[in-house]
Structure 1
Amino acid sequence: MRSILLTGCSSGIGYDAARTLKSRGWRVFATCRQQGDCDRLIAEGFESFPLDYASEDSIAAAVEETLSRTGGTLDALFNNGAFACPGAVEDLPRGALREIFETNLFGWHDLTCRLIPTFRAQGHGRIIQCSSVLGLVGAKWRGAYVATKHALEGLTDVMRLEMEGTGIDLILIEPGPVATRIRANAIPHFEKWIDWENSARRDDYAALLDRLYKPQAKKDRWELPPSAVTAKLIHALDAPRPRARYYVTVPTHVAGFLRRLLPTRLLDRAIAKG
């Protein structure tokens, strides 16, 4: 039985991945930030315990718990848990960037590095990072999230080069619009950090507030379910030689193509038009 540690399993991509891999015979360690979500997963038959990317102690405890249960082995890691803090870049205070990088990048890096010695000792391991179309291109009002995903892309690319010949594979999955709770989960971070009423962009915030607080009247035309990400994850886990990147949605394929094809100013115009 192969084993995998997954993060961000309370809902969305992580939850779907945990359920699907368990059904396919994997031993799944489905972690969540909150103990209450772990308790719900345990009631569903999962092995679950807390892992909070913002806490070094939590990461260390989760790694120790995982390896104690497996006898010191692990086949794969799926870094997935993340959040967004929407707002104009000029309105992002230092604390907002520090907080989002702690979870979306530093915690991922910490967890990954704590497991690399295990992968090295056994001669194999797959580290799969759930990035985003926003790791390929930028988008207005999403600067904090974009910054973390661009940093993740660069760090993963370098680690992939450095791990050549070790048996450890570094893989990026690039979703686009996927049906998750990321928009709803962004609201507390927006309210905590963005003083939009005193912003020079105050009038421009109307569209962002509308997207954040109003229920979606209809599904995004390109939106896919979390299972679309899980399908790419399965390929990344099972392929003898996995790809370095897996694009998931149509917008991701288009963004990847246009980034290679267009000069920056033309790419800016294309992104602005949606």
Structure 2
Amino acid sequence: MNQSLPLTKILPPANILITGCSTGIGYQCAKQLHEMGYKVIATCRQQDDVTRIKSEGITCIQLDLANSQSIEFALKQVLLETNGKIDALFNNGAFGLPGAVEDLSREAMEYQFQTNVFGTQELTNAVVKIMRKQGYGKILYNSSILGFAAMQYRGAYNASKFAIEGFADTLRLEIKQDNIQVSLIEPGPILSDFRKNAFAQFKRWISIDDSAHKEKYQAMVSRLETVGPSAPFTLGPEAVTKCVIHALQHDKAKIRYRVTVPTIVFAYLKRILPTSWLDFLLIKAGGDGKR
């Protein structure tokens, strides 16, 4: 299991670009790698978060993955900080937009994909060209258990992570000859502000009173408002950082890092169970929106 991955002392790659560092996984990863001696370039969407992280001595740049101009401008700043090189990229920036699939407007789906998929891959494509010129690089995508096992009322997020897995798997085949490694990290439940941020998106995009899923939404709202773990086997964000460190410090990073017991279990069950049985277990695991 990932908890037993060996850690070595340091380097290379010497520098790493990390998206989505305001809180949770991105923040914890940026902070720990910085303390270890890596040249970390963190990014956040909000300037207040950029200022806060800079005050901790970590290089931080404003980047909105939903905006192509922001991506282009931020990448220029990153290259100034790293003398034109990017040894590793950790695509962590993402958010969840809960709601039944039938309640998702086209605008809501586009909003989810702008950051989680389109912006993430736009940045990655630009970084690939830099890595190819320098002759090496490592690209890590923070996916999810929901990137291969769909659960109810998470349709937009499920689809965005399924898409990321498809891009990552294809990219890995296309750039293997360029000495650029591509890895997926697939966390299950992790302590973060993810639920709080998802609840804000739910209130913005979903009309509870007009939905056939109104009763289920009431249970889901209780989960989104919960402080602390709302699902069994929840781990802290350091569990993901441990996988990032392993990928950085080993000549051959793993193609997939499965984090938390649910991810490991469902990855196995998906291989051996009929789809109808897996559906039953996924409904149970999701608790009709309660978990």
Question: Which TM bucket (shorter chain)?
Answer: over 0.9
Alpha-carbon spacing, 1:214–1:28, altered in 2? closer, same or farther (3 Å): closer
Asked if 1:69 is matched to 2:72, the reply is no
The aligned residue for residue 160 of structure 1 is 172
The one-letter code sitting in structure 1 at the alignment partner of 2:141 is Q
Give how far 1:219 is off.
Answer: 5.5
Asked if 1:198 is matched to 2:229, the reply is no
Unaligned runs of 5+ in 2: 1-11, 286-291
Whether the 8 Å CA contact 2:199–2:221 is kept in 1: the answer is: no
The one-letter code sitting in structure 2 at the alignment partner of 1:72 is G
Whether the 8 Å CA contact 1:178–1:225 is kept in 2: the answer is: yes
TM-score normalised according to structure 1 size: 0.97
The one-letter code sitting in structure 1 at the alignment partner of 2:231 is D
Whether the 8 Å CA contact 1:91–1:196 is kept in 2: the answer is: no
**Which is bigger in relative contact order (C-alpha 8 A, separation at least 6)?**
2
The aligned residue for residue 235 of structure 2 is 224
The aligned residue for residue 246 of structure 2 is 235
The aligned residue for residue 263 of structure 1 is 274
**Percent identity between the two aligned chains:** 45
Please list the CA deviations of residues 176-205 of structure 1 after superposition, one character each: whole Å capped at 9, or x if unmatched: 000010100012211111011111222221
CA distance in 2, matches of 1:243, 1:270: 28
State the secondary structure of the residue aligned to 1:78: strand
State the secondary structure of the residue aligned to 2:201: helix
Alpha-carbon spacing, 1:139–1:119, altered in 2? closer, same or farther (3 Å): same
CA distance in 2, matches of 1:230, 1:69: 23
The aligned residue for residue 7 of structure 2 is none
Whether the 8 Å CA contact 2:195–2:225 is kept in 1: the answer is: no
Please list the CA deviations of residues 21-42 of structure 1 after superposition, one character each: whole Å capped at 9, or x if unmatched: 1111110001100010010011
Unaligned runs of 5+ in 1: none
Give how far 1:260 is off.
Answer: 0.7
CA distance in 2, matches of 1:210, 1:5: 35
The one-letter code sitting in structure 2 at the alignment partner of 1:155 is F
State the secondary structure of the residue aligned to 2:32: helix
Moved over 2 A (4+): 213-216, 218-221
